Amino acid sequence: MKDKFDNEMKLEFISKSSNEAFARVAVAAFAAQLDPTIEELADIKTAVSEAVTNSIIHGYEDKQGLIKVMCRLIDNKIIIEISDKGKGIEDIEAAKEPLYTTKPNLERSGMGFTIIESFMDSMEIESILGLGTKVTMVKTIKEKVENEEQEFQMLTNE
């Protein structure tokens, strides 16, 4: 049985680096329905950027292909799936290690999955060599009352 979603969005674009910003903004606009804080929105945008960039640089390398983004809203959670039909990941556990990279010549290499894990509540990677990769990320948007209480506690504990 399929989960009941409050809303769903699908996006598909060519694996060009100029489309990374488009994906980030589109997902942020969709996530805005949950009324996230600026910080929560920044976390989502950063994670989407990292996952899309991984698909462009590692999945397709110098070839062009399609990247698919699917977002679902359930209660106060956003579930984001970013998938490609690129070359796949040989060793997912190694790829999740900080500073592990197959492209040492590139700036900022090896931190994509580490960044995603630190900004999102959960991350799952599915990959089959030669068939592609799907990264599923989940972020729970805290309710405004919780956020205000946390901010108040931070201010009064100093």
Residues carrying an active site annotation: 50, 54, 108
Task: Report in angstroms the alpha-carbon separations of 66 from 13, 33, 76, 83, 142.
Answer: 6, 26, 29, 9, 33
At residue 121, the 3 state secondary structure works out as: coil
Number of Cβ atoms within 10 Å of the Cβ of 116:
25
Q: Say which residues have a Cβ less than 8 Å from residue 154's Cβ, sequence separation at least 6.
A: none
List, as own/partner pairs, every contact residues 110-115 make where C-beta atoms lie below 8 angstroms and the sequence separation is at least 24, other chains included.
Answer: 111/50, 112/50, 112/51, 112/53, 112/54, 113/50, 113/54, 115/46, 115/47, 115/50
What does the block give as tokens for 130? 């030669």
